[in-house]
Structure 1
Amino acid sequence: MLEILVVFCAVAVGSCMQRVSGMGLGLLAAPVLAMLMGPVEGVMVVNLLATINAVLTTFTVKHYVDWKAFGAIASVLWLGALPAVLLINHMPGAWLQLIVGALLLIALGGVVFGARHLPAIRGTIPMLAAGTVGGFMNTLAGVAGPAITVYAQASGWEQRSFAATLQPIFVVAGLVSFCAKLLGGSGGVANTSAWVWAAGIAAMMIGIALGGKLATKISRESARKAALACAFAGGATVTVRGILGIF
């Protein structure tokens, strides 16, 4: 029951943060579920929950979505998913945890500390590169947001449009990552407890509802900083656990 409670809290807070700032569920829930359920099953559960969450959130922000940017980024997510599946199939669990945690920390570091040093970029190629890296990150670690955030900051993408466009991107990313791992024989969720799904979906509904109310009271930037701080802690924990598992 402690595991179910932890899943509930991680998903509820992540969904709330995502409703306010545009991302948060994968950042917060992926490292937690990777520790509780393993780096493959845990991330696959996050992939599905993040897909459902993004579908629900997309309806609330659809008027601000840049559908052209969505089409470009979403079209190449599978290019990153395929090498991630190959890596999962040939990597021991402890090493996977280490890689998941390290990739999360590197991506977050780029978002937080690299923003001021990023050169201004324009054009389709950087957008496609962000989508490919996002697909790799989402398949391996359950987080596509940081890679696309780096592109958004470098390109000067307006925050409201960016946060809204992330939602349908997350829908496609979650489905691509989950299906790639399932069809590639990397893992599955057949043995995942029904209580995990019940807790995750209930927490998601509560988080989205609470986030809708907090969105008018908390700035997107404040919520984003809180989500990033929690994600740093989760990424560090997964990294340490992977290192301990190896040695």
Structure 2
Amino acid sequence: MDIPGAALLCVLAVLGAGLQRISGMGFALTVAPFAVVVAGPGGGIAVVNACSALLAAVLTVHLRQSIDLRRAAVLTCFGIVGVGAGALMARVVPGAWLEIVIGVLVIASILLVSRPRLPGARTRGGGTVGAGLASGFMSVTAGISGPPLALYAVATGWEPQRFAATVQPVFLVLGATSFATKVLVPRGALDGSVNGMLLAAVAAAALCGAALAGTLARIIRAAVARRILLLVSAVGGLLVLGRGAGDLLS
């Protein structure tokens, strides 16, 4: 295991988990790009999927009173369909091209999420379907399922506290389903590339970050936390994109 890389992932996992506890998302977007660099597109995304599911399970219990069960169920159902489509793509796309796809998805997500408001009228039922499908697709291919849901929340005027609570069971199911497609389905995308020690270390760091969220909220203001999230994610997305391009050219 790459010790410096693993240590960096653990630090980012603490930060990302704290951001997710405060705002509803942030763990996967912070950790996933660097996990791909450290462990490859198969093993890295699998680690993020598993740890995202674990963190979301803890936050689901903690925030259960604010969860909109009906909306969570609809997003989850269509998200599972998106996971299936993304899993098929991950099997047929070569590793270098998959890294490029992941890098592009991360950077595009940052550009969209960083916009303060979306143009046009508020979305209706079709927006729920699209958000769920996109969230599941991005979960299994890039490890990040939050940006489509964040865009949907902005478009529908979803109250932030309800959003932060409701997306946790969605992250839980999509993360677990995405992980299952990699380790349980025959001829999955991992080929033994998941490092158990790395998975355990990142999971422990994520739980620590969730526990320290109250302290992080007092130290880091919401606007500063958002800038940190976008900056770290952008650096990671560019690294993954550059690595994939380099593999193609070599």
Instruction: Give the TM-score band, short-chain normalised.
Output: over 0.9
Question: Structure 2 vs 1, CA of residues 174 and 95 (structure 1 numbering), >3 Å: closer, same or farther?
Answer: same
Residues 66, 165 of structure 1: 8 Å contact kept: yes
Equivalent position of 1:172 in the other structure: 173
Equivalent position of 2:94 in the other structure: 92
RMSD: 1.8
CA distance in 2, matches of 1:134, 1:184: 24
Matched, 1:103 2:105: yes
CA distance in 2, matches of 1:117, 1:201: 34
**Which residue, out of 193, 196, 199, partners 1:194?**
196
Note the C-alpha offset of 1:189. 7.7
Count residues in correspondence.
246
Question: Structure 2 vs 1, CA of residues 56 and 189 (structure 1 numbering), >3 Å: closer, same or farther?
Answer: farther
Equivalent position of 1:126 in the other structure: 127
**Which residue, out of 29, 32, 38, partners 1:30?**
32
Note the C-alpha offset of 1:78. 1.8
Residues 20, 223 of structure 1: 8 Å contact kept: no
Residues 81, 136 of structure 1: 8 Å contact kept: yes
Q: Deviations for 1:22-49, whole angstroms, at most 9, x for unmatched residues?
A: 1111001111110111111110111000
The TM-score with structure 1 as length reference comes to 0.92
Q: Secondary structure at the match of 1:120?
A: coil
Question: Structure 2 vs 1, CA of residues 184 and 217 (structure 1 numbering), >3 Å: closer, same or farther?
Answer: same
Note the C-alpha offset of 1:174. 0.3
Equivalent position of 1:69 in the other structure: 71
Residues 75, 170 of structure 2: 8 Å contact kept: yes
Larger mean CA deviation between 176-185 and 50-59 belongs to 176-185
Equivalent position of 1:14 in the other structure: 16
Q: Deviations for 1:71-106, whole angstroms, at most 9, x for unmatched residues?
A: 110111122112211211111111110000101111
Equivalent position of 1:237 in the other structure: 239
Note the C-alpha offset of 1:181. 3.1
Equivalent position of 1:52 in the other structure: 54
CA distance in 2, matches of 1:145, 1:105: 13
Q: Deviations for 1:138-167, whole angstroms, at most 9, x for unmatched residues?
A: 110000100111111111111111111111
Structure 1 stretches lacking a partner, 5+ long: none
Residues 21, 224 of structure 1: 8 Å contact kept: no
